[in-house]
Amino acid sequence: MMNTAFVIGNPDLCIGCRTCEIACVLAHTEKKLGTEEIKEVPFVPRLTVVKTEDISVPIQCRQCEDAPCAEACPEKAIVQRAQTIYVLANKCVGCKNCIMACPIGAVYLTRVEENPCQKTAYKCDLCIDVEDGPQCVKKCPTKALSVILPEAIKASIKERRANTVRNA
């Protein structure tokens, strides 16, 4: 079964401003932010903007259909939830198997707020608990991020196959 969607960045449009990272952190904070409280929010985005001299682009979970990170988890702490690959932080033991298994490097570790000695995996969850969906997409000033739906992937595959047959 193909997952609902994933977010992809367009390096031709990305200016490396990291607004997507800020939007991610704010979307996943449970605190009601006031001007003073914002200083207390740990900055741990679920995506990373990779920048070189020539290019910048956000890297985040592709919500893999076969989810190598989930397969590698000995605690079964990475599951499919509402067709999104999701980390159950309360089950994660911080073994890092998921980090090593991820083909694009989109799984990270962060400290657990209640127990700073413990770490848990975290990754993009498409803002599953946010009503408006992925905030990185909504807040990107250059529209470099977009949600890719399964229907679009299927249509693209069908079109490429048809072009291959025509050009053969």
The predicted-structure confidence for 119-130, as pLDDT tens digits, reads as follows 999 999 999 988
Cα separations (Å) of 60 from 37, 76, 115, 137, 166? 27, 21, 26, 12, 35
Distance, CA of 30 to CA of 41 (rounded, Å) = 9
DSSP helix/strand/coil, 136: helix
**How many residues would you count in the chain?**
168
Buried (b) or exposed (e) across 39-50, using 16+ Cβ within 10 A? Answer: eeeeeebbbbbe
Strands (E), the chain: 6-9, 48-51, 56-59, 78-81, 84-87, 108-112, 115-122, 145-148
Give the whole-angstrom CA distance, residue 126 versus residue 134: 5
Q: How confident is the model at residue 157 (pLDDT cuts 50, 70, 90)?
A: confident
**Which CATH code for domain 6-167?**
3.30.70.20
Report d(CA 106, CA 9) in Å as an integer: 13
> What mean pLDDT comes out for the span 142-167?
83
Q: Where does residue 109 rank: exposed (0-12), middle (13-18), buried (19+ CB within 10 A)? A: middle
Contact 18, 95 (CB under 8 A): no
pLDDT at 1 over 90: no
Model confidence, pTM? 0.81
pLDDT digits (tens, 9 = 90+) for 65-93: 889 999 999 999 999 988 789 999 989 99
